[in-house]
Structure 1
Amino acid sequence: MSASTNTRRGLTLADAGREFWRHPTPWLFVAALTGAVIARIAVGDWQLTDAVVPFAVAAAFPFLEWTIHVFILHWRPRRVGRITVDPLLARKHREHHIAPRDVDLVFIPLQSAIGAVASAVAIALLLFPRTGMGLTFLVVMLTFGLLYEWCHYLVHTDYKPKTAVYRVIWRDHRLHHFKNEHYWFGVTTPGTADRVLRTYPDPATVPASPTAKNLHAIDAESPAAVKR
């Protein structure tokens, strides 16, 4: 179907879904999630503590999302001796703010997504008292990761909100991109950690930021712009 036809009738979830599955990180999360589910079933050893894991992850995830967004994605390049500390995620996120409609910049960079999956596997296998419980954690975290990719991607498409929950997600993330990048750090969990950590103001009281599309107002490639 042509782009002009989509524009006339509005982007549907099916349209958005077809584009979503053309990118590698959703498939990475699906493959890892499938493997985690199979491993969890194979291990068995179901206990009451397994039921607690999804609730614990759901409670912690908004703060994890906020922390990553603030301290990693919005990292300002720093010079340590002769070395510039400027992680890939931060560089790509600055590009994402410059071009928020560039779909290739919406997704977690593949290298970073692989690292995140590997870290989740390591945590699941090494930091839990039971393998089964760790695998339950892994299944839940990978599910949250896939949902994060979908929600973040969808907000940056032309799909219009049709439910109250998605309308809040859509509004808050667009405020972050187009109003002021210093607030509204939640993506899939808007208003949760932001309210607790005081980054969820009334939009009417917040001035438009001149650096919302140019984080830190720097050229990351310029040595003179890097904070020492």
Structure 2
Amino acid sequence: MTTHSSADRRRRRSLTLRDAADQFRRHPSPWMVGGMLAVAVAARLAVGDWHLSDAVLPVVMLALFPFAEWVIHVCILHWKPRRVLGLTVDSLLARKHREHHVDPRDVPLVFIPWQTLTWLIPVLAGLSVLAFPRLGLGLTFLVTLSALGVVYEWTHYLIHSDYKPKSRFYRAIWRSHRHHHYKNEHYWFTVTTTGTADRLLGTAPDPESVEKSPTARSLHTVR
């Protein structure tokens, strides 16, 4: 038993990006988001009709994405169950995220729940067709959002895997999100960047100045 545990720890310490990618593609959510990206790219190329706005929109979305992450994390993932008209309002996303905080190393809980994607992907596809003045621009939106989704899923998975940061840029992102899980859940809400929305919105303090939260692993409970 001891030998097996030691070997397992060595494998964890030696996890490569290739190993991480092999594990990543074993889960349904990356395939679903990646599939949306592939279909969106094919549709966008087929439609054509390129305008300057097709170059501007991705830049704007990229700039706003950290703020979208922040809002989703704070308002949806950290939603505290509430009673409304006798019913408990508590989404699957919020429930799964609480489970994720309980055990940040449980890999399936790292990903966007596939059950959520089964309705979210059609909704996003519908928005891309109906909510834009041109179909081409709507598909540009869908391509960009899908690509950001893949980046989000990969980054979040990698942070919670045993892959050790090599670059300074990724190490900063890795450290920030680990602080959120293991230091204090009230700070460091962005996942794919650091020093962006959190800094502007006041949730990126000096970690040394922040006390360790007793509820970082059990959101909304008091010990």
Give 1:4 shift: 5.7
Q: Counterpart of 1:6?
A: 11
Q: Which residue of 1 aligns with 2:67?
A: 63
Distance in 2, Cα, partners of 1:4 & 1:184: 28
| AA at the equivalent of 1:93 | H
How far did residue 161 of structure 1 move?
Answer: 0.4
How far apart, in 1, do the equivalents of 2:22 and 2:198 lie? 32
Alignment of 1:10-25 (within 5 A): 10-25=14-29
1:160 aligns with 2:158: no
Pair 1:38 & 2:30 matched: no
What is the RMSD computed on CA atoms of the aligned residues? 1.5
Cross-structure match for 1:27? 31
Deviations 1:94-133 (A, max 9, x none): 0000000000111110011233322321221111111001
Matched, 1:140 2:144: yes
Deviates more, 1:85-94 or 1:187-196: 187-196
Shift in alpha-carbon separation, 1:4–1:210, aligned structure 2, 3 A: closer
Task: Say if 1:120 and 1:141, in contact at 8 Å, map to a contact too.
Answer: no
State the alpha-carbon separation in 2 of the partners of residues 133 and 41 from structure 1: 12
Which residue of structure 2 lines up, in the alignment, with residue 226 of structure 1?
none
AA partner of residue 101 (structure 2): H
1:172 partnered with 2:202: no
Deviates more, 1:69-78 or 1:112-121: 112-121
> How many residue pairs get matched?
217
TM-score by length of 1: 0.91
Deviations 1:37-93 (A, max 9, x none): 111011010111101011011011111110000000000000112200011000000
- The aligned amino acid for 1:196 is L
Which region of structure 1 is more displaced relative to structure 2, 186-195 or 112-121? 112-121
Indicate the SS of the match to 2:88.
strand
Aligned pair 1:86/2:90, yes or no?
Answer: yes
Distance in 1, matches of 2:160 and 2:62, equals: 24
Among the aligned pairs, what percent are the same residue?
Answer: 59
Query: 1:222 aligns to what?
Result: none
User: Of the candidates 186, 192, 206, which is equivalent to residue 190 of structure 2?
Assistant: 186
Q: Which runs of 5+ in 1 are unaligned?
A: 219-228
Q: Matches of residues 69-108 of structure 1 in structure 2 within 5 Å?
A: 69-108=73-112
- Given residue 155 of structure 1, which amino acid in structure 2 is its aligned partner? I
Native 8 Å contact 1:54 1:140 kept in 2: yes
* Structure 2 letter corresponding to 1:6: R
SS at match of 2:220: helix
CA distance in 2, matches of 1:3, 1:134: 47
**Conserved in 2, the CA contact under 8 Å of 1:97 and 1:213?**
yes
Gap regions ≥5 residues in structure 2:
1-6
Separation of aligned partners in 2, 1:39 and 1:77: 39
The answer for the alignment partner of 1:203 in structure 2 is 207
Structure 1 counterpart of 2:216, from 201, 209, 212 = 212
Q: Could you tell me the TM-score, scaled by structure 2's length?
A: 0.93
Q: How many angstroms apart in 2 are the aligned matches of 1:211 and 1:200?
A: 18
Worse overlay, 97-106 or 116-125: 116-125
Deviations 1:118-171 (A, max 9, x none): 232122111111100110110010000011000000000110000111101100
Match of 1:128 in 2: 132
